[in-house]
Amino acid sequence: MQIADLHAHTTASDGTFTPRELVQLAKQNGLTAVAVTDHDTTDGLAQAQAAGREVGVEIVPGIELSTVFEGREVHVLGYYYDQEHAGLRELIDNMREDRLTRLDRMIGNLQKAGLEITREEVLAEAAGSVGRPHFARVLIKKGYVQDIPEAFDRYLGSGKIGYVPRLKVTPEEAVQLIVAAGGCPVVAHPGLFDKDYLFDTLVPLGLVGLEAYHPDHSPEKREHYAALAKRHGLLATGGSDFHGGGAEHRGDLGSVHVPMEIVEQLKQKSKIR
């Protein structure tokens, strides 16, 4: 059976595998295709696509945009879009700049709390787009916490001393931007924010799918979201949300997957050929 994992991260954001290593692992794990869906960046795609041609794994070009809805994080995946679309490039650039500004503010907050942590140490953990998991890894190395969940519970989670809000983009804006770039927007792991009525707003804007199959979804939630997708005329997608280890690790690459038929349907719905 030909299968695809439509949710995976690399060192371009908060994954621990380089794009090339991710593709090699996809081959080892028997995947026909893997989507590179790094947070708010496309920097890992070129290397992944080159590796995919070498080892015979199809690369689904993706991205995972961070948005906020009613005070909760909602992630919107995009597939098969124009990577040079001006509006999308502007948003990615703004998000990159915001992450660096946020980095400095978080460093300041943690230093005021008595933690000896520097900008250089955090950036050394981030081969690409910097985020809170990179802070957590530094805190572990310096002995302030035992693991990444503790880092978030004590210092980095919402409302904690090190937390600084990100640039606020709405799910509506993300969906419209991916559509404008010719791509296919898909809401990631909807069971993590549990606001099904959001789909009533997003479907008319051009939403193509929702991620019914995810490691954090129970069998009951997978069934629920597959039925919700069918009710809204959406694709029920899925993936492992692979990060390569640490607190973000939810399972092996390909441990959650979908048939290649879903990849073909995404291609058909995309305006990028």
Q: Under CATH, which architecture does the 3-91+167-269 domain have?
A: Alpha-Beta Barrel (3.20)
Mean pLDDT of 23-44: 97
Q: pLDDT tens, 49-82?
A: 999 999 999 999 999 999 999 988 899 999 999 9
What pLDDT is stored for residue 130 in this prediction? 86
Task: Please report, for residues 10, 87, 117, 169, the alpha-carbon distance to residue 106 in angstroms, rounded to integers and kept in the order given.
Answer: 23, 28, 10, 20
The pTM (predicted TM-score) of the whole model is: 0.89
Q: How many residues in total does the chain contain?
A: 273
Task: Please report, for residues 43, 138, 141, 152, the alpha-carbon distance to residue 121 in angstroms, rounded to integers and kept in the order given.
Answer: 21, 7, 10, 18
Question: Which pLDDT band, with edges at 50, 70 and 90, does 273 fall under?
Answer: low
| C-alpha–C-alpha distance, residues 86 and 168, integer Å | 19
| C-alpha–C-alpha distance, residues 139 and 126, integer Å | 14
Mean pLDDT of 236-251: 83
| Token pair 């949710």 in the structure block, residue | 7
